[in-house]
Amino acid sequence: MAVVSMMTTKGGAGKTTGTLILGTVLAEQGASVCLIDADPNQPLMKWAKDANIPPSMTIIGDVTEENIIETIEEQSAKSSFVIVDLEGSANLSTGYAITSSDLILIPLQPSKLDADEAAKTLKFIVRQGRSSGKEMPARVFWSRVPAAYVTRSARDIGTQFEEAGIRFLEARIVEREAFKGIVNFGETLEKLADDQVPSLENARANAAMFVAEVIALLKELRQ
- What's the CATH code of the domain at 94? 3.40.50.300
- Long-range contacts for 166-170 (Cβ within 8 Å, ≥24 apart)? 166/122, 166/140, 167/139, 167/140, 168/139, 168/140, 168/141, 168/142, 169/105, 169/139, 169/140, 169/141, 169/142, 169/210, 169/213, 169/214, 169/217, 170/213
Sign of CA dihedral 63, 66, 72, 77: negative
pTM of the predicted model, to two decimals?
0.91
**In whole angstroms, what is the distance from residue 103 CA to residue 218 CA?**
7
Cβ-contact 16, 202 below 8 angstroms? no
88 pLDDT band, cuts 50/70/90, is confident
- Report the DSSP beta bridge partners of residue 37: 85
The string of DSSP letters for 63-79 reads --TTTHHHHHHHHHTT-
- Report the DSSP beta bridge partners of residue 105: 6, 139
* pLDDT on residue 153: 65
- pLDDT digit string, tens, across residues 96-111: 888 999 999 999 887 7
* pLDDT on residue 205: 96
**In whole angstroms, what is the distance from residue 130 CA to residue 133 CA?**
5
Residue 41 lies in domain: 2-222
Number of domains within the chain: 1
- 3-class state of residue 57 by DSSP: strand
Q: In what order do the strands lie in the sheet with 103-108?
A: 57-60, 33-37, 81-85, 2-6, 103-108, 138-145, 173-174
**In whole angstroms, what is the distance from residue 105 CA to residue 61 CA?**
20
* pLDDT on residue 124: 86
- pLDDT digit string, tens, across residues 130-174: 888 888 899 999 888 877 656 666 676 777 777 667 788 999 999
**In whole angstroms, what is the distance from residue 23 CA to residue 38 CA?**
15
Cβ-contact 118, 19 below 8 angstroms? no
pLDDT at 13 over 80: no
**In whole angstroms, what is the distance from residue 114 CA to residue 119 CA?**
9
